């Protein structure tokens, strides 16, 4: 841990019990120098009880004495083996109350567009539980009819870099397991900027002009070009007088 626990209370104790400069205390506790000066003046942290860093195994008296003798010396937090790794986040991400209502929409987006992600990965990205994810997957969630998929990055529930890293990790696991990635999944491996810069995928045109038409005949399905139709022949109709003469001849 880089900063002491109960930093402001520790700063109160150091102000009251040492001759350290405001800058030294601020650097050690992660506070601004003026904020430490406000503590000394009684304007900041009024009523906060001091927290002894020596008794709580965060500082040694020798370190304080060294810093008091040299104003340029920075206090070093005492090494505590039990605190190693405590700065790493464990379990699901904490989601503020104002954004918790957006989690179902983010889960549905991840389930729909990134089915390769495991429940554990989704839980870590948006800070939810596996039962909630499962209810979204099997559409048994109580409000599933009103949930619309929304990108969790746009909702501020995760970062694009974290989402990209999770997708790459999931696809790498599929590759190790021998599963074949589709073209869409390969496109997801690139960054967002690269994906946006890609040319759009070609689409089959609805009509193509200038190409010959072919007909299939028999079992061999031979391709033969159709004979061209003379447009003038469609308009060379027999005259009405000729039709009357032919009718008279038939009656005779």
Q: 4: burial class by Cβ within 10 Å (0-12, 13-18, 19+)?
A: buried
Domain residues of the chain, as ranges? 7-83, 97-187
Position 160 confidence tier, pLDDT thresholds 50, 70, 90: confident
- Confidence (pLDDT) at 208: 46
Claim: this prediction has a pTM higher than 0.85: no
Position 231 confidence tier, pLDDT thresholds 50, 70, 90: low
For 168, the 3-state DSSP assignment is helix
Q: Which tens digits make up the pLDDT trace of 63-98?
A: 999 999 998 999 988 876 655 555 555 555 666 777
Better pLDDT: 223 or 96: 96
β partners of residue 216: 223
Rounded to the nearest angstrom, the gap between the alpha carbon of residue 88 and the centroid of all alpha carbons in its chain is: 20
Residue 216 sits at φ, ψ, to 5 deg, of -105, 125
Residues whose CB falls within 8 Å of the CB of residue 78, separated by 6 or more in sequence, listed in order: 57, 58, 59, 60, 63
Q: Which tens digits make up the pLDDT trace of 115-147?
A: 999 999 999 899 889 999 999 999 999 999 999
């Amino acid at each position: 841990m880089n900063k002491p626990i109960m930093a402001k209370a520790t700063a109160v104790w150091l102000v009251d019990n040492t001759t350290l400069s405001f800058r030294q205390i601020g650097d050690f506790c992660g506070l601004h120098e003026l904020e430490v000066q406000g503590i000394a003046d009684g304007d900041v942290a009024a009523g906060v009880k001091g927290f002894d860093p020596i008794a709580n195994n965060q500082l040694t008296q020798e370190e304080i004495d060294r810093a008091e003798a040299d104003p340029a010396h920075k206090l070093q937090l005492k090494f505590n083996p039990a605190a190693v790794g405590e700065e790493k986040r464990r379990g699901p991400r904490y989601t503020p109350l104002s954004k918790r209502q957006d989690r179902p929409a983010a889960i549905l987006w991840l389930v729909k567009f990134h089915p390769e992600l495991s429940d554990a990965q989704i839980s870590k990205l948006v800070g939810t539980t596996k039962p909630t994810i499962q209810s979204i997957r099997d559409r048994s969630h109580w409000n599933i009819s009103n949930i619309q998929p929304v990108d969790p990055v746009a909702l501020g529930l995760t970062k694009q870099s974290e989402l990209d890293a999770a997708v790459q990790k999931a696809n790498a696991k599929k590759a190790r397991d021998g599963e074949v990635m589709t073209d869409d999944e390969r496109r997801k491996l690139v960054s967002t900027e690269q994906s946006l810069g890609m040319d759009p995928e070609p689409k089959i045109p609805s009509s193509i002009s200038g190409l010959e038409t072919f007909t299939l005949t028999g079992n061999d399905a031979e391709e033969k070009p159709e004979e061209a139709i003379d447009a003038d022949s469609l308009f060379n109709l027999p005259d009405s007088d000729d039709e009357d003469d032919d009718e008279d001849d038939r009656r005779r």
